[in-house]
Each structure stands twice: as structure tokens, then as C-alpha cells.
Amino acid sequence: MTIQMKTRKLTWAFVVGVVLCCAMPASAVPLTGAGSNLPIPTTNPSWPPGQSAVRTVSGGTFTGTWAAPAHSDWIGNYNATGPIPSSTSAGSVRYDFSSLPLGYLPAGTFFIFGDVDRGSNLSERFDIKGIDSTGNVMGTPWLDEPYAVTGVPGGGGSSIQPGDMPAWSWDDPASPQTYVINGSGVSTGNPSVSFALVSNQVLHGMQLDKRTTHNGFGLAAPVVPEPCAWVIASLGALMLVSRRVGHCDDV
């Protein structure tokens, strides 16, 4: 194998690595089991962690739309039947991701939850099921532990505490193959906290049951961050090196 071929292989391997690292959130631990308070990430990235879909209502349905600078695998529309899961609504929502560019919702999507607590004398709760390509409920954990949190603590102070975070369960006997995010675990009064979980598998659909008002949910796509433009621009230098090596091979 010539030096030129080796250099080109290394260059394109670097290209792929840069694009993936820039576009996707860092890997995390799958969210399994159950607990009184979702864990707070040790390293808490700046908020928001991605670009939220713009949601447009049409009768009893709505459409979510991503545009640039969202990653190209997300740019497009998904469809949902039911009310937009905002702070003023409750009910069941069925998501269909088949109209997105890849025919599904890619892994690496941010699931944004807001104000899931007991501040309105309600045990605010979400039940979420992932749907696979065959239309069946997914049986393996498809969300990771919290990626980022933000908001106002309920017990005073400047930092979010464990008691500000809601309870969770995955595949509990009472809710099989379901993620339950439940404000019953909040013990600090009335915090106003938002947090992001990240999907680790593709989803073809999703069933979300929003049991109460006064909390919210949305999807966000990863964005290729600005510094990546500088990194990708530097690839030109590698290409130039490859050409020069090729020229040396020809001499």
C-alpha cells in the first residue's frame, strides 16, 4: 500500500470521526431500574442541549419540524396525533417518525422534560413507550441517564439538588416496557427544573401519556456546533498533505 493510500484512509477516517463527534451527544449510561430522583449529570452541559422541533397544530394532530442548523438526519417533519404536550394540556400522544429523512427518529435525540414535580398539588407524570419498525413496543432501555439539567431549585440555593429531580422507573411490573417519569419523587417544594434525556436507539414511533397539566415535553435534535466548522475547515490541510504525498509517489 502506498503512502498516498494510507494518508487518504487516515484522512477520511478523521472526517467521519469529526462529523460524528460534532453532531451527536456524548455517550451515557442507559436509564434502567427505578429510583426516587433522577441522577444529576456530573458534567452539566450548557442549556439548551439541542434544537427543539417547531410544533404546528392542525385539528387533533400536530407536526414537528426541524430545519438547519439541526443535523441533516433530523431536518424534516414528524407527525403526532393528540395534543401538544405543553404545560396547559394533558392526554395521550402517538408519534409517527416515518416521514423523517431516515424513516425513523435517530438515536441521539434529546427528550426534554420540564417542571415535573408536585408543585401544583399534582403528581405530575409522563408514561413513554418506544415503538420499533414492526409496530411493537420496544423492550430494551432506549433512553440514557440525564444529559443536562437547568432551572430554579425548590429548596433555595443556587444549584439543583437531588430532591429537585423526579422519580423514574423502566419496565416496572405495573408499567411494563415503559419509562415513567413521576414528580412524586420531588421533595424540595416547588422547583422549576428542566432536564434532557438522550435516546440510544432509533424509534419508528412513540406513545406518550401525559397524565397532568403544569409540565411539558418536547424533542430536540443535535446541532453541529460552531467550533466544528473550524475543525472541518482544517481538513483542507490534510487533503493538501495527501496530494503532496501523492505527488511524491509519482516522482
Is residue 174 pLDDT above 50, yes or no?
yes
Rounded mean pLDDT, 169-190: 95
Distance (Å, whole) CA 57 – CA 53? 13
Number of CB atoms found within 10 A of residue 127's CB: 17
Instruction: Check pLDDT > 70 for residue 60.
Output: yes
pLDDT of residue 9: 44
Query: Residue 194: inside a domain, yes or no?
Result: yes
Domain assignment of residue 213, yes or no: yes
Provide the pLDDT confidence category of residue 56 given band limits of 50, 70 and 90. very high
The predicted pLDDT at position 208 comes to 98
pLDDT of 49 over the 50 cut: yes
Q: How far apart are CA 179 and CA 143, in angstroms?
A: 9
Domain-located, residue 20: no
Res. 73: pLDDT tops 70: yes
Residue 40 has pLDDT above 50, yes or no: yes
Task: Please say if the pLDDT value at position 63 is more than 50.
Answer: yes
Structural domain includes residue 32: yes
Specify if 62 maps to a domain.
yes
At residue 27, the pLDDT reads 56
* Average pLDDT estimate for 150-175: 94
Q: Is the pLDDT of residue 250 over 80?
A: no
Range of weakest confidence among 21-25, 50-54, 109-113, 203-207: 21-25
Answer yes or no: is 12 within a domain.
no
In a domain, 49, yes or no: yes
**Residue with more model confidence, 156 or 143:** 143
Residue 25: pLDDT band by 50, 70, 90 thresholds?
Answer: low
Q: Is residue 16 part of a domain?
A: no
- 186-192 mean pLDDT: 91
Indicate the range of 5-14, 27-36, 124-133, 187-196 predicted with least confidence. 5-14
Lowest average pLDDT, out of 7-16, 74-83, 206-215, 224-233, goes to: 7-16
Amino acid 39: pLDDT: 97
Instruction: Report the share of the chain in percent with pLDDT over 70.
Output: 78
Task: Supply the pLDDT for residue 141.
Answer: 98
Whole-Å CA distances, 56 to 60, 102, 194: 11, 21, 22
Given a cut of 60, whether residue 177 has pLDDT beyond it is yes
**Rounded Cα gap, residues 115 and 191, in angstroms:** 7
Sheet with 34-35: strands ordered across: 34-35, 167-172, 175-182, 125-131, 205-210, 91-96, 76-81, 61-66, 54-58
Mean pLDDT of the chain: 85
Q: Which residue has the higher pLDDT, 159 or 24?
A: 159
Full domain range(s) for residue 121: 25-250
Question: For the chain, what is the domain count?
Answer: 1
Q: What is the pLDDT of residue 122?
A: 74
Whether the CB-CB separation of 30 and 144 falls below 8 Å is answered with yes
